[in-house]
Structure 1
Amino acid sequence: MTKFTDKAHSAEHLMRTLFPATPLQRNDHLSELYGADIWLKREDLSPVRSYKIRGALNAMAKVLAKTPETNVFVCASAGNHAQGVAFVCRHFGVNGVIFMPVTTPQQKIDKTRIFGGDNVEIRLVGDYFDNTLAEAMRFCSDAGGHFLSPFDDLDVIEGQASVAAEIVEQLSSLPDLVLLPVGGGGLSAGVTQYLHDASPQTRIRYVEPAGAASLTAALQAGVPIKLDRVNNFVDGAAVAQIGRLTFDALKPTPTDHVLTVPEDRICSTILQMLNVEGVVLEPAGALSIDALKDLRDEVKGKTVVCVTSGGNFDFERLPEVKERSQRYAGLKKYFLLRLPQRPGALRDFLEALGPEDDIARFEYMKKSARNFGSVLIGIETRKPENFETLYAQLDAGGFVYSDITNDETIAEFVL
């Protein structure tokens, strides 16, 4: 039986027919910050700005080798998988039908169309991904096409394992620790199996967004289970249920080897890498770097590889990323304030603000039948401790207020 490492090397050789190895770069900033030798495997620099092209290429090549008469490849994706499939369809000159939710940002639709050219048809179906996937599966069955899973496919997993094969070739010595983002598990399953054979001494830590911790849930249950709710902010890793085949590879993982990181904290890492290093990462692409904050003791003095899985970041999201980062750092808060309807009430509130406090949002709703009005107010400041002073001033002034910064239900409607 062919070893998994041999299959991964075959996949790696196949990658070279389409694109060069993605860079493995030592990052001086992070190395100094954490007292370690930290390298970034820059999957954000692939032709489609993510590692997804690897699994698509390997899987499609194997299908065409076995059944060259395959007339159409089908996938359902709102992002990186769609772009990878489109690029490879054009490469092989085969037809692809890509189903995307109606709510997919236009930028991602346009990029997928550019990568696929005349070889790809894009169909916008459903408001939510589950509806999109169901329609793609129906079409695939009716058309006799080949459905290409974004992660739960052995050939896709082997293709993603080429990332690990390149890391081992590019480093002068084997890494002490590799940090992997986890969504559906294709990348982590492939890299894990490869390193288990090629570098068993290398430790692996897996990183999930806190609002979509499907691997954590599966390890706790012993089987893949579907999360009741998923936070879609880290869209490249926001998967409700880890794959069956990928979980088979990851099932031996100790639960304490999986880290969950807050979505808002990831935003701080995105901004740090953009402002300090000029590196553009999507939220899922920043997961492995963000996890360094929780692993300071473990990484110190070690050779560490962080896989930056993607860089398809829509800059229209930048204001939201900054907002989330400020809220996580305690530099921005939102309040519902009850403001008395009397002359001078607003002036009294403004005098409670400190010299480093700034009003970022102010919405006032006057109720004619009441003796007060409701105010939605956002405050930015330079130091988190300034809010303690503000609270004291508001309390002393007799103001009635509620901090709604971390109230997800309210925030969903008003922030």
Structure 2
Amino acid sequence: MTPQEVETALEAMRGLFPETPLQLNDHLSARYGANIYLKREDLTPVRSYKIRGAFNFLRKIVGDSPANTTFVCASAGNHAQGFAFVCRHFGVQGVVFMPVTTPQQKIDKTRTFGGEFITIRLFGDIFDQCYAAAREHVEAIGGYMVPPFDHADIIEGQATVAAEVIQQLPEGVTPDLVVMPVGGGGLSSGMTGYLAGRVAQDSMVFCEPAGAPSLRRSLEAGAVVTLPKVDNFVDGAAVARIGDQNFAALRHFAAEQVVIVPENAICVTMTEMLNVEGVVLEPAGALSIAALDLLPPERLAGKTVVAVVSGGNFDFDRLPDVKERAMRHAGLKKYFILRLPQRPGALRDFLNLLGPEDDIARFEYLKKSARNFGSILIGIETGKRENFAELFARFDQAGLGFEDITENEILANLII
């Protein structure tokens, strides 16, 4: 991949959709004392950058392929939607394999983007089963498999994000930091390849969710590592194994350049961007913004920073869970198991311990733990995180038995 090849791909792409904005964000710039630019890939026609790689892959084949060639992909998310949009653009037949468990909303959007040119096949409960079925189908029909990230033409297509950034920055301005999310590595390997020689190597910052740090672990090991399990909350970046070609392009970076972002911290960013900026982001799309909080303040102060917002395909049915996670991460909501005496007035005595900003969000009687005591699950929201320290002090002074289970994943998953 050369810069000229990326720019040729970008020129061809203009026949499909206009450039996405590079916006100076005043809110974030004021917070960090820097010039924070957001590259808004959530504003492509399919609300993610994935359309770029799919377009570049197909454009190199369509002109030379027979009219009855069929393209195939396996995806339950943004890659499927970008693939479907591009198949309709070129007027070619595409087959999308999705797990049976795929939300109906994603199936419907993929069908809308592809129209009559797309066939959707649901197979298997997990992605690996779905992907295996797609591979078998490609071999049976002699079609083309369009991978989500591990292919030179996909990487070249995603590199057009960086080419646009360079064109859109004010004249004479070079980014001091480029922050980009990592899943399979298509976006990051493409952008860093194009920016090599334009932006210093140590100015590249990668971010991964804590539940799927495939690039970080691979850089630490010096070879591609397959994670034994991943947390799928950040579904757009929850990849157990970074692509082989992608890692080959990224292996010269230091493991310390990868920022690991807790899933709940991503939720804080999602709710803030929605409430303050009116911007709807999916978890992977919020990764690069959430990572800013984890960088040393002096690394941002006075600098020009480009953060890639990779996507905005968010299912609002997930909003209550996102809000819940955000409040827990911010220290504004906690869950306890209380051991209350079984006597008249015990509950009233407990309520009198709450402060003026403390609010009960969950109350559930669990069982009697002894003849004269009962266990209660209670969730408390408050206005400031420091209020909990004062509440704990009042609990101790009153001799109240309690256990904070907010960060106990096993108990929280079972009863919250």
Aligned to 2:162: 164
- For the Cα contact (< 8 Å) 2:91–2:117, is it kept in 1? yes
- For the Cα contact (< 8 Å) 1:82–1:112, is it kept in 2? yes
Aligned to 1:376: 377
Shift of 1:382: 0.7
- Matches for 1:38-57 after TM superposition, within 5 Å: 38-57=36-55
Shift of 1:344: 2.1
Shift of 1:103: 2.0
- Matches for 1:10-409 after TM superposition, within 5 Å: 10-69=8-67, 71-171=69-169, 172=171, 173-200=173-200, 203-295=203-295, 296-367=297-368, 370-409=371-410
- For the Cα contact (< 8 Å) 1:269–1:290, is it kept in 2? yes
- Residues 276 and 72 from structure 1, CA distance in 2 versus in 1: closer, same or farther, beyond 3 angstroms? same
Q: Give the secondary-structure state (helix, strand or coil) at the position aligned to 2:101.
A: coil
- Residues 91 and 269 from structure 1, CA distance in 2 versus in 1: closer, same or farther, beyond 3 angstroms? same
Shift of 1:110: 1.2
- For the Cα contact (< 8 Å) 1:176–1:202, is it kept in 2? no
**What are the ranges of 5 or more consecutive residues in structure 1 without an aligned counterpart?**
none
Structure 1 stretches of 4+ moved >6 Å: none
- Residues 353 and 199 from structure 1, CA distance in 2 versus in 1: closer, same or farther, beyond 3 angstroms? closer
Question: Match for 1:346: what amino acid?
Answer: L
How much is the aligned-residue C-alpha RMSD, in angstroms?
1.7
- For the Cα contact (< 8 Å) 2:176–2:199, is it kept in 1? no
Q: Give the secondary-structure state (helix, strand or coil) at the position aligned to 1:375.
A: strand
Question: Match for 1:225: what amino acid?
Answer: V
Q: Give the secondary-structure state (helix, strand or coil) at the position aligned to 1:311.
A: coil
Q: Give the secondary-structure state (helix, strand or coil) at the position aligned to 2:293.
A: helix
Q: Give the secondary-structure state (helix, strand or coil) at the position aligned to 2:363.
A: strand
Select between 225-234 and 16-25 the one with higher mean Cα deviation.
225-234
Q: Give the secondary-structure state (helix, strand or coil) at the position aligned to 1:389.
A: helix
CA distance in 2 between counterparts of 1:210 and 1:194 reads 27
Question: Match for 2:45: what amino acid?
Answer: P
Shift of 1:132: 1.6
- Residues 201 and 399 from structure 1, CA distance in 2 versus in 1: closer, same or farther, beyond 3 angstroms? closer
User: How much identity, in percent, do the aligned residues show?
Assistant: 62
Count of residues paired in the alignment: 413
Shift of 1:202: 7.8
Q: Give the secondary-structure state (helix, strand or coil) at the position aligned to 1:352.
A: coil
Select between 183-192 and 354-363 the one with higher mean Cα deviation.
354-363
* Superposition TM-score, scaled by structure 2 size: 0.95
- Residues 345 and 201 from structure 1, CA distance in 2 versus in 1: closer, same or farther, beyond 3 angstroms? closer
- For the Cα contact (< 8 Å) 2:62–2:90, is it kept in 1? no
Shift of 1:247: 0.2
**What are the ranges of 5 or more consecutive residues in structure 2 without an aligned counterpart?**
none
- Residues 115 and 367 from structure 1, CA distance in 2 versus in 1: closer, same or farther, beyond 3 angstroms? same
* Superposition TM-score, scaled by structure 1 size: 0.96
Shift of 1:45: 0.3
Shift of 1:201: 7.0
Select between 188-197 and 367-376 the one with higher mean Cα deviation.
367-376
- Residues 16 and 202 from structure 1, CA distance in 2 versus in 1: closer, same or farther, beyond 3 angstroms? farther
- For the Cα contact (< 8 Å) 1:335–1:405, is it kept in 2? yes
- For the Cα contact (< 8 Å) 1:5–1:197, is it kept in 2? no
- For the Cα contact (< 8 Å) 1:70–1:145, is it kept in 2? no
- Residues 132 and 412 from structure 1, CA distance in 2 versus in 1: closer, same or farther, beyond 3 angstroms? farther
